Structure 1
């Protein structure tokens, strides 16, 4: 039973055969028409010749029959009639003008291209018969014999040459078709294997990424893409993506300190602790390992970044002092009661020496246990507050440095004027989150122009950080609602720019918790300016003095 592929191949061959019949016959007909027009201009009397008119009539009728015949539904060799009829028609033309015998080249080339040796011999015999149809040739003079031999040998040589070339072309076509079929099967197998490998790769819970010496992530499994919010089709870091930190709520790593940068430098790492603040606002503790890998398909040496999620372990370690403190506190109260009652019993005078000895043992053991509990409590005291004095100018410069690659990728220039130091009292990590969010929005909603960042001490003694872009901007109504949770401007939604509408509200809460303020100014189509004002660390001291 024929397969779908074989039926498709047969239909292609039939379509090719139909087109070839039309092309050969129409080319021949157009050539004859052109010659007829020339003859009509140069020799009008030839148009009145019976042989010429019969030949033209036969060719026209044959061409019309070619166009209306359903060649796809009749046997392949049926089309052989057409070039034979053309040979006969040319024979009639040569009765009036012998030089028109050159037209026999067309049907002979047609037959040699698509048919075998028997058909070629038959066609040449037909040419010989039509050449002898002229009564002037019946005498078989030497000139007639030489002319006939020249015509037949030339046509035979042409037919052999065309047939050989056609056979080679058909062989090449079959070879190319077979190679294309094998190549398609190979590609299908490779794609199926790649899909199976990718499925296994993505099922691994450990985050894995393969990096080239140029810093390009050539492959990453699902766990790695989820950690860094990477797109499946584009493995570059997105604007506003995850940020790596040296410690929990510690210092954000600069672009030269990230895991990818270290892998590019050829550093080999084994189980090093790394902290990641992902796009959803979750802290993740990771175990970082960087190892050499096999070269990629281009022969480039690559390295593998391995990140094991240790968040649960890290949280347990952070909670351990608290649990110890609670348990120790709960144990101390009953021990105090035991010691108190033991002391009361020892103060009595009606105890036997044995009872007093037992009470002494209870009191001594309780005191030792209470001492141990006090030691545990002193080791697990609450950590200091996260608020500390830091340089806001350095924070802004670090954020600019982190977002420069993203700005360059969006064809944005960053102009910064940062007058430091700008000492601020507060949570450096949270305030860095505010600046990063504003920078991310400025890049995300801009496709041209310059991003201007300024940080300085204003006339009122406040630290002012201003970030201005030349992006899509907002309407006045949108500016009034920009801090509303889940609100996104209409033009941002129409532009298909991803976002949740939570960032600005979170930023305002953080700034106000530090005693500062945040303001947004925007014009639709001309850009947005966001200004954050924070009290300087020595401002209160200056007021009090």
Structure 2
């Protein structure tokens, strides 16, 4: 009873939340309340109507149907049996209409209640709507036949009410079916959403990538199993902190803790996007090396909705890359040591006045081939960086510092060739990159500049900042490159015609590999050149945002 009242008063309980008995009673109640209202009107309009047996029988029948609706356990009966009630309602409505036609006309419209009940049940709608229309027609025609007034004129005059009731039934049925379809879709949406959420959780817990999701306030909303495992590796011994600033996060390859403001999560929360940056979590044998990417995401309205951080465990990959670099360093040493000895002794022998011109010529050929072999070793080392399937180990670097180191390494060769090398540095240029790859690019550019320059010329290496780019240019006063050769200067195993004619040794591989490494760093390598004047090779890399560059929250 409490739920019935709540539904009638448009409270929190909905019609479909009631039991079958409650729904049947609630569907029957409007007719009974309306017939009660008819009684009250009859007291005022025509009290003598209470002496009419038909009026009293109709009221008693309707009241009995309400008692039956409340007494029958409809939940135990097969679905659809409750429609017996609106069918039986047509009898008291028809009797009430017939008995009060002269004093209270229009009571036949009370049949709208059983019509709407039948049509709105959703049970075999075509049959129920048709049955309701036929029942309404019989309700008005049967008394005419019984009273001997079933003339064509009378039958036609009484078609309006049944037609109106049929139209109401059709409209009710259409709205009911539409509402049921919509309700079904609404019920399916949470199920589908839950299924998709479970699928997403399963996928994220299955993949070997740690995923951390935070809402727009920076609160943790999702942490998959892999991310939880990596998080445990970064916890200080005996600690259960949830503060990222207290986690043991180190720069990869260094024993220095990453400052709180430069940690990946803090940077991403401040609006920065990071990709494949390598850090070390924890210390000792349980430490893990991870490649972290992260960015913010927005909702459908374009507003910030949260942050996603993805961590890939690259501990084994980094170990393999280090083993490779160690092997390449050892191989480089094993090659360079005898080559250096050959070149050194060749120069000593070349200064021996007792040598014949033919012997000196042979020594020059030997030295030239040794230098050529030395450059080939450099190209092989650079090729190992671009040809590996392992990801670049990006870490914070200073391009200006690398440039100074490259010039210092090349100065000995420049002196031996009588070429002056200068370096101009315009302050630090922080970048994220693979040290081995960037060093090989600078060494290759300087080596090419020296190789194609004559004695007495200058080679200048300069670094500067250009908007969001770190720029390093190598300028020489050498042979220069013809316009037709500029198009293929970065093509593997391609050399300019001038270089071939001059007899300068080379494989045509170094510049192509240098450009590939630059592009792997999301940068580029360009060249401008004038024949007989010289060439300028320009390396551009994205600047790494420091804490001072990050937008304030």
**Common topology (TM > 0.5):** no
TM range, smaller chain: 0.3 to 0.5
Give the TM-score normalised by the residue count of structure 1.
Answer: 0.40
